[in-house]
Amino acid sequence: MPESIRKDTSASSQSHVQAIIGRSIVLKGELSADEDLVIEGQFEGTVNLQDHCLTVGANGKVKAEIQARQVVILGSVNGNVNAREKIEVRRSGNVTGDLTSASISIEEGAYFKGSIDILREGRQEERTPLAAATLYEDNE
């Protein structure tokens, strides 16, 4: 089966379908989908998978701004990554760009150059500046 064809990755009655961009595929542009996506080839542009997971495979090379529910990086990413739930940079991963998510995991041995912004619930963010301002005023 060609690598760029969708695969059913679950044996259950509610099958989990994901699209795959194979190793020999090179794409440029805007990419959006309503399903999970695995990139093993090369992609340059923007990726928008708001309610789904993007996996950059070990052979994947992505130069893009990424928006997704969850992002798993085993290959190379150059660009900012925003995930609503979680970003995982695995041991073989290479990331140059800023990471923004509620949860970020970088395995030992992975390469990362950029900044990290951990998203918090709105109430927690509102309380933090007030507490810091109170402490600062007490120290004067």
| Residue range 100-110, pLDDT digits in tens | 999 999 999 99
Beta bridge partners, 71, equal 54, 87
Residue 81 has pLDDT above 60, yes or no: yes
pTM: 0.76
Q: 59-63, 72-76, 131-135: which has the minimum mean pLDDT?
A: 131-135
Look at residue 122 in the predicted model and tell me its pLDDT.
56
Closest CA to 78 of 28, 112, 32, 116: 112
Q: What is the mean pLDDT of residues 17-42?
A: 94
The domain spans of the chain are 7-138
Q: What is the 3-state secondary structure (H, E, C) of 98-116?
A: CEEECCEEECCCCEEECCE
Contacts of 35 (CB under 8 A, 6+ apart): 6, 17, 18, 19, 52
Confidence of residue 56 (pLDDT cuts 50, 70, 90): very high
Percentage of the residues of the chain whose pLDDT score is greater than 90: 71
Look at residue 30 in the predicted model and tell me its pLDDT.
96
